[in-house]
Homo-oligomer: A and B are copies of this chain.
Amino acid sequence: MESAKETVERVRRGEVRAAARLMRDLDDGVPGAREILKQLYAHSGRAHIIGITGSPGVGKSTLTDRLIQDLRQEGRTVGVVAVDPTSPFTGGAILGDRIRMQRHALDEGVFIRSLATRGHFGGLTASARAVITVLDAMGKDYILVETVGVGQDEVEIAATAYTTMVVTVPGLGDDIQAIKAGILEVADILVVNKADREGAERTCQDLLQMLELQTFRKTHAWKPRVFLTQAKDNQGVEELMAGVREHQEFLSRDEGKALKAARYSRVRQEFLDLLKEGVYTHLVRQLTQDGRLEGILQEILEKRTDPYSASEAFIAQTLGSALRRKPNEGG
């Protein structure tokens, strides 16, 4: 069994097997894996993280595939995290899109990791963040984070990237148009893929108009760009990559003022997510063990209290005083 220090070194050297093993161990909750992740964190923070999000079927995977190709031709190394709420028994691996991407599997400069929910809902965000940290510590120049842009958590993962790309296609129904609008706010770059479809230009115009309506944009220095692509035929991808680079340059202007701000909000979200999950796990375990959860649930079921009052009472009782104490007074 190799030491944590050895694993850290091997991952930092970019060794694919060590990284893949660590990611599996993190997923499975293998003891010690989290300690290695902590040590790797100090070596992260150099990669440019690009979020790619959008509704199912807009061609995110094909686009991601093209971006990998483009970055590799420039000699950049690339890590990919594909977050997909697939089933434990289908997994991410058998999907056509994933297979297509696997043509990069033999390229040492590319590392692709698919994440599924593995039978329970929750924890996907934490898993994705851990994978990003590992890829970053491996020294990847770019990390592409592909998520389905519908769920709240999934959008958030993409939104905490340094450059967030929102992908759509012309002629989607009302339902999807609305979703697109919902995630428009987090976009640095908008992509209208499948540009050969009718109404592509119109969709671009609509998006630009919607961007105009976003009053918060007026206080921001970056004005989102809209690109037309046909990822399948590699059309428009070069222009899109130029847009990404333009955003990267924007972030590094004024001694990296905007990048620092993006990094700050990324670290903030990362810490708060971990705190939220950690506190919750801790509470549920403790409340289950000492039988308090069962008691509270019975009281609610018998209508002697309600979930709102019960949760408030619990928080006031356990957290109120604990939080007011200074850390050095804690026991």
Of residues 255 to 269 in A, which have CB atoms within 8 Å of B's CB atoms? 263-264, 267-268
Chain B hits for A41, CB < 8 A: 303, 306-308
The CA-CA distance from A306 to B28 in the complex, in Å, is 21
Write the nearest CB–CB distance from A179 to chain B, whole angstroms: 6
Question: Which residue on chain B has the smallest CB distance to residue A272?
Answer: B284
**Contact, CB under 8 Å: B318 / A330:** yes
The CA-CA distance from A167 to B168 in the complex, in Å, is 23
The CA-CA distance from A176 to B55 in the complex, in Å, is 10
**Contact, CB under 8 Å: A42 / B321:** no
Write the nearest CB–CB distance from A57 to chain B, whole angstroms: 5
Write the nearest CB–CB distance from A53 to chain B, whole angstroms: 11
Knowing A86-B182, A152-B121, A182-B117 touch, does A264 contact B297 (C-beta < 8 A)?
A: yes
1/0 per residue A31-66: CB within 8 Å of B?
000100110011001000000000111000100000
| Most chain B CB inside 10 Å of its own CB: which residue of A97, A152, A282 | A152
* Cross-chain contact of A275 among B95, B263, B267, B311 (Cβ < 8 A): B311
Chain B hits for A312, CB < 8 A: 278
Write the nearest CB–CB distance from A64 to chain B, whole angstroms: 12
**Contact, CB under 8 Å: B331 / A152:** no
Question: Which residue on chain B has the smallest CB distance to residue A95?
Answer: B174
**Contact, CB under 8 Å: A156 / B283:** no
Q: Does residue A279 face the partner (Cβ distance < 8 Å to B)?
A: yes
* Cross-chain contact of A84 among B178, B282, B301 (Cβ < 8 A): B178
The quantity of this chain's copies bound in the complex is 2
**Contact, CB under 8 Å: A300 / B323:** no
Classify chain A: how many residues form its interface, as a range.
35 or more
Question: Which residue on chain B has the smallest CB distance to residue A172?
Answer: B57
Write the nearest CB–CB distance from A236 to chain B, whole angstroms: 21
Chain B hits for A213, CB < 8 A: 89
Chain B hits for A199, CB < 8 A: none
Knowing A116-B182, A321-B330 touch, does A150 contact B151 (C-beta < 8 A)?
A: yes
Write the nearest CB–CB distance from A293 to chain B, whole angstroms: 8
**Contact, CB under 8 Å: B280 / A90:** no
Chain B hits for A45, CB < 8 A: 303
**Contact, CB under 8 Å: A152 / B151:** yes
Question: Which residue on chain B has the smallest CB distance to residue A159?
Answer: B121
* Cross-chain contact of A283 among B96, B159, B268, B319 (Cβ < 8 A): B319
Sample 9 A-B pairs with CB under 8 A, ordered by A number: A38-B309, A56-B173, A57-B172, A92-B178, A148-B179, A267-B301, A272-B284, A276-B280, A278-B311
